[in-house]
Structure 1
Amino acid sequence: MKKGIMDWPTFLGAFILLLLVTIPLVLFPEKGAEYVNQANTFVTTNFGVLYLLVGLGIFFFLIYVAFSDNGRVKLGDAGEKPEFNNFSWAGMLFCAGIGSSILYWGTIEWAYYYQGPPFGVEPGTQEAIAWASTYGIFHWGPIAWSIYTLPALPMAYFYYVRKKPVLKVSEATRPLIGNLASGPVGTAIDILFMFGLLGGAGTTLALGTPMIAEGINELTGIPVNMVMKTAILAIVTLIFAISAYSGLKKGIKVLSDLNLWLSIFLLAFVFMFGPTRFMAETTTNSIGLLLDNFFHMSTWTEPYNALGPYEQTSFPESWTVFYWAWWLVYAPFVGLFVAKISRGRSIRQMILGTIIYGTIGSILFFGIIGNYGLHMQLTGEFDVINVLNEEGAPKAIIEIIGQLPMAWFMIFIFTILAIIFLATTFDSSSYILASVVQKEVEDEPLRWNRLFWAFALCLMPLVLMFLGGLGTLQTAAIVGGFPLLFIMVMLAWSFMRASSEDIRASEHYEPKTFTLNYKKIVQRLKRKKKKEQQQKGPIDAHFEDEEKDKDHPDEKKD
């Protein structure tokens, strides 16, 4: 192990910040929850338009990059093949980006829109039903995966093209903020990202644990209580700790592959033995409705309802703005992870693959399992809405799965899948948290470091789960993630500046995908600079050298 490999200011800063937020919530849960909710309302209400515009802007920016010269750059050396095949790659990025939340919201989200539809539509009507099966796909669709993909661009570029063995958000902003990336500003950016991820993990736990508990209750009859939830958390922690300790290829890849196969089995079973025609037609109709109204849904702010005699539903703030804020909190983590597993691919392949695979996966879950529950409601075979309102979402979700043939077996598969989904999200999270608190990551983060963050990820949520404050931590993370709106813009700008400069300085392009040799580019620029200096006086050359050292500190190292 190299001496001084750990970035202790970032390591301790993130942990201390989490304690500073968590301890007051433990000591004063009601007052803490009140303040956090007020802050959340302030951010989503006053800056909702900003979230919507940034989400849409990121989507179009990535489409532009994918089909530009920047998108043709290969992440790695010439002739290098992708590190993982398409199946494993798609599985890892989907499992890291979605987790058990897709099982939760994919099954039940339509029921909330059915009762409180957008655009002033009357609840329970045919129009409300159409929007109910469409809005979930929108919230988990191309814009969500675009937000996830953006941070991967500069991180993958610096790691695989410029060969900087650093996986940090701050390092990805270096072309823009220069040496500030190595000081307190860079540390603050990394700590902010880690805090958002730790809080976001609390969200996943808040949704996943009660759902798994209801599944176990249905299978065994054991009552849902704190002991069961703690046991579930302990099992999940053990799984993802072993996976994170084993590393990317032996642990996370294996778990993600298993997760993907179980997901395919679950979706295929529901599609074959459920109302196949209804699910196919409703999903197709939803995709058409989404494509027809994509811009309207992406920019709807409900502006007139606050002024006139119309009812204020707060739908955009409660759903779309909240989702965009949630994706933003997770984006640097998913971006870092996507960057780490995308060696050997072009930037275009990474962008389009992440957006397309991620969106298709979400469409399948919402289109099959979600529409299966909707069909139960519409036909009167099972009153999902009543169970949701009376007994809660986790119970309603398990009851929907219980309507399938071979109910006991399918609930078992669903519960196991939820456990593995939760574990895959957490092992990916602990892997990335460990990477961020190291100054260098040559191959993988240190094992003890990965293991530490595996347990740190569950420690705080466990304490808050006992106190009922998990939702407050989630909201606090989203509020704390507000600056990520501006960091995302910095990441996009940083990538374009660095990659465009390198492309211009490169000697040649290959026909389709080209490899940039950053060391050769630096050497070429130095030779060019030397010739220019020889043609100028020694005083001019001296001042230009000083300017170069300020603007390009890394080149001086090379």
Structure 2
Amino acid sequence: MKNRLIDWPTFLGAFILLLIIVVPLVVFPEKGTEYVDVANSFITTNFGVLYLLVALGIFFFLIYVAISDNGRVKLGDAGEKPEFNNFSWAGMLFCAGIGSSILYWGTIEWAYYYQGPPFGIEPGTKEAIAWSSTYGIFHWGPIAWAIYTLPALPMAYFYYVRKKPVLKVSEATRPLIGNKADGPLGTLIDVLFMFGLLGGAGTTLALGTPMIAEGINYLTGLPVNMIMKTLILALVTAIFAISAYSGLRKGIKVLSDVNLWLSIFLLAFVFVVGPTRFISETTTNSIGLLLDNFFHMSTWTEPYNRLGPYDRTGFPESWTVFYWAWWLVYAPFVGLFVAKISRGRSIRQMIMGTIIYGSIGSLLFFGIIGNYGLNLQLTGEFDVINVLNEQGAPRAIIETIGQLPFAWFMILVFTVLAIIFLATTFDSSSYILASVVQKEVEDEPLRWNRLFWAFALCLLPLTLMFLGGLGTLQTAAIVGGFPLLFIMIMLGWSFMKASSGDIRNSEHYEPKTFALNYKKIVERVRRRKKKKKPKQKGPVDAHFEEEEKDKDRDEDDQPHNDRE
């Protein structure tokens, strides 16, 4: 009986699309990689402007929604309190949206900008140093979290206000596409979302697993090889499978709380025992530089370097456009998850909380750990860039943390944190994938469904890791996620159409936050339609109506000057 809840076309469609991409990559890895790279280059180069404009538009659209009447709508019933406290709520949305990637890029991203700065700046100069500390905060800042937040609006609205027990991207576009949400178009929208998430999650594993392996190598001396990476994947899978099986409140919430406390400890320790003054001043300077150049960074396309004798760096396509495309791939998943955990909050609280908490969390990682690594490079205490270029990012990251006092203990904390970060991202992913392939989700997805996707998320990256094709899957996911640009616009439009219509048809509510009773709204609209129903015309009415038509016809036949 429970299996009838499964939306089999979506369930199987995601797998078929995944196989269509993965099998050729396995059978013809070199050709497959070549074609995927060409497609990715074509999209990021020719549609880069579209990515930049849509991302900036999403940010300002959400600010507008937050300050409008639409933002005052409560996600739930009148008097209902938030399901989770602010600490747990912030922890869950941050861990789901970031994962172990924040440990990876937060520690090392500055080094790439240091060597290849934006705006044609000379590498290694003071300007390059300033921008190297700033651009990571920008790429993981308000625009990234706005992209994450947009899909949460219609999904949370339909789930908690209109009381539709469906957590699907297609359902959120129903106000625009109508009953087509139940047909092939709706299935295609959900399948594209699932494909992007599977590819995105696989890349998160690709970044996190080698970093964890390097940490274990530092702690135990065990060699970094496929056996170790496989064992790490098995451990992470076991953690998030247990968490996914336990559910949202007992599993994911507990893991996220532990994750948040460990993150606070790591950041506080680095800030206190590290170069505190340098970290404070550099982070503050980066915030000012970002605020001064926010619009320039958001819209920079390097246009003049395409012509004449100028050197083209490809920075916007390689970093900003790629990041916006990457957040778009993850956005429906994070939006679905944020929607699921936001019961009892207003739409304004959900928007501002997600953008602010997410941006502050990213700022702390990049500002503290990133600038700690930058200080090591500038003072000559440790040559981070040389290790990065010679031995790879995972080794450079672990060696950077290894420069802290109590190095062995701090690398242990860092490695455990990376494992839990990876697990929290994956249990959130499996939870949402299970929700999307169900026709209804009254409380939580079926347990077997959650477990299935927990293991499915691991098996694919593990197979590709053996074949060395994870980077290609990441690129393929971004190429496949290109339609999400237009789906995101549809999601925002759907939310405004549905919520604005409901607010117009509702009664007057409290001045701050109000809960909409959708059943009463529907009943009120029905009564209004009945009142507007035209009366049956009698013979007298018909006679006068015919006289009026004849009069109008005679006036139309007169010359233009006469009518003047």
TM-score, structure 1 normalization: 0.96
What is the rounded CA distance, in whole Å, between the counterparts of 2:537 and 2:94 in structure 1? 58
For 2:64, the equivalent position in structure 1 comes to 64
CA distance in 1, matches of 2:153, 2:173: 11
Deviation of the 1:111 alpha carbon? 0.1
1:473 alignment partner in structure 2 = 473
Aligned pairs (5 A) from 1:57-206: 57-206=57-206
After superposition, where does 1:364-383 map in structure 2 within 5 Å? 364-383=364-383
Q: Secondary structure at the match of 2:5?
A: coil
Number of the residue aligned with 1:315 = 315
Q: Note the C-alpha offset of 1:393.
A: 0.3
Alignment-derived partner of residue 521 in structure 1: 521
**What's the counterpart of residue 236 of structure 1?**
236
Q: Which residue of 2 aligns with 1:499?
A: 499
Partner SS, residue 59 of structure 2:
helix
Partner AA of 2:138 in structure 1: F
Shift of 1:308: 1.8
Q: Map of 1:122-521 to 2, 5 A cutoff?
A: 122-521=122-521
Residues 537, 118 of structure 1: CA spacing in aligned structure 2 closer, same or farther, 3 A cutoff? farther
Sequence identity, in percent? Answer: 87
Q: Which letter does structure 1 place at the counterpart of 2:424? A: T
For residues 362 and 5 of structure 1, the distance between their equivalents in structure 2, rounded to whole angstroms, comes to 38
The AA in structure 2 aligned to 1:524 is R
State the number of aligned residues: 538
Q: Which amino acid aligns with 2:195?
A: F
User: What is the deviation of 1:2?
Assistant: 4.3
Per-residue CA deviations over 1:335-388 (Å, capped at 9, x if unaligned) read 000000000000000000000000000000000000000000000000001000
Cα distance in 1, alignment partners of residues 420 and 460 from structure 2: 20
Per-residue deviation, residues 414-461 of structure 1 (Å, max 9, x unmatched): 000000000000000000000000000000000000000000001111
Structure 1 residues 328 and 536, CA gap change in structure 2 (3 angstroms): farther
Change beyond 3 A, Cα 1:410–1:348:
same
CA 1:346–1:536: 2 relative to 1, 3 Å: farther
Q: Look up the match of 2:549.
A: none
Query: 1:532, CA displacement in angstroms?
Result: 1.7
The CA deviation at 1:226 is 0.4
Q: What amino acid is aligned across from residue 526 of structure 1 in structure 2? A: R
**Amino acid of the residue matched to residue 473 of structure 1?**
L
Structure-2 separation of matches of 1:504 and 1:404:
59
Cα gap change, 1:234 to 1:162, in 2 (>3 Å): same
Partner amino acid, structure 2, of 1:357:
Y
Please, what is the CA RMSD of the aligned residues? 0.9
- Tell me the distance in 1 between the aligned counterparts of 2:390 and 2:451: 40
Q: Distance in 2 between matches of 1:198 and 1:277?
A: 42
- Structure 2: distance between partners of 1:315 and 1:108: 17
Q: Which amino acid aligns with 1:13?
A: G
Query: Amino acid of the residue matched to residue 410 of structure 1?
Result: M
Q: Which amino acid aligns with 1:80?
A: E
Alignment-derived partner of residue 552 in structure 2 = none
| 3-state SS of paired residue (1:305) | helix
**Correspondence for 2:556:** none
Cα separation, 1, equivalents of 2:470 and 2:28: 14
SS at match of 1:533: coil
CA 1:527–1:412: 2 relative to 1, 3 Å: same
- Give the Cα separation in 1 of the matches to 2:523 and 2:4: 29
Rounded Cα–Cα distance in structure 2 between residues aligned with 1:190 and 1:292: 39
SS in 1 for 2:533: helix
In 2, distance between residues paired with 1:401 and 1:250? 32
Q: Which amino acid aligns with 1:233?
A: L
Q: Partner amino acid for 2:52? A: L
Letter in 2 for 1:158: F
Supply the AA of the counterpart residue of 1:209: T
| 3-state SS of 2:432 partner | helix
Offset at residue 20 of structure 1 (A): 1.5
CA distance in 2, matches of 1:383, 1:346: 48
Structure with the greater alpha carbon radius of gyration: 2
CA–CA distance in structure 1, aligned partners of residues 221 and 28 of structure 2: 35
Please state how far the C-alpha of 1:535 moved relative to its aligned partner. Answer: 3.3
1:509 Cα offset (Å): 2.1
- Residue 548 of structure 1 corresponds to none
Q: In the superposition, relative to structure 1, how do residues 500 and 384 fare at CA in structure 2: closer, same or farther (>3 Å)?
A: same
Comparing 301-310 and 373-382, the one that deviates more: 301-310
The unaligned stretches of length 5 or more in structure 1 are 539-558
Structure 1 counterpart of 2:506, one-letter code: S
| Partner Cα distance (2:384, 2:39) in 1 | 33
Which amino acid letter does the alignment assign opposite residue 9 of structure 2? P
Q: 1:537 to 1:280 in 2, by over 3 A?
A: farther
Give the 3-state SS of the residue equivalent to 1:77 in structure 2: coil
Q: Deviations over 1:316-341 (max 9, x none)?
A: 00000000000000000000000000
- Which deviates more from structure 2 when the two are superposed, residues 262-271 or residues 2-11? 2-11
One-letter amino acid of the structure 2 residue matched with residue 285 of structure 1: N
Amino acid at match of 1:408: W
**What is the deviation of 1:530?**
1.4
Change (3 A) 1:522 1:536: farther
Question: Per the alignment, in what secondary structure is the counterpart of residue 83 of structure 1?
Answer: coil
Tell me how far apart the structure 1 counterparts of residues 458 and 369 of structure 2 sit (CA, whole Å).
29
Report the residue type matching 1:320 in the other structure.
T
**Alignment CA distance shift 1:310-1:3 (3 Å):** closer
Tell me the distance in 2 between the aligned counterparts of 1:481 and 1:63.
25
User: How big is the shift at 1:534?
Assistant: 5.6
Give the whole-Å Cα distance in 2 for the aligned partners of 1:478 and 1:153: 23
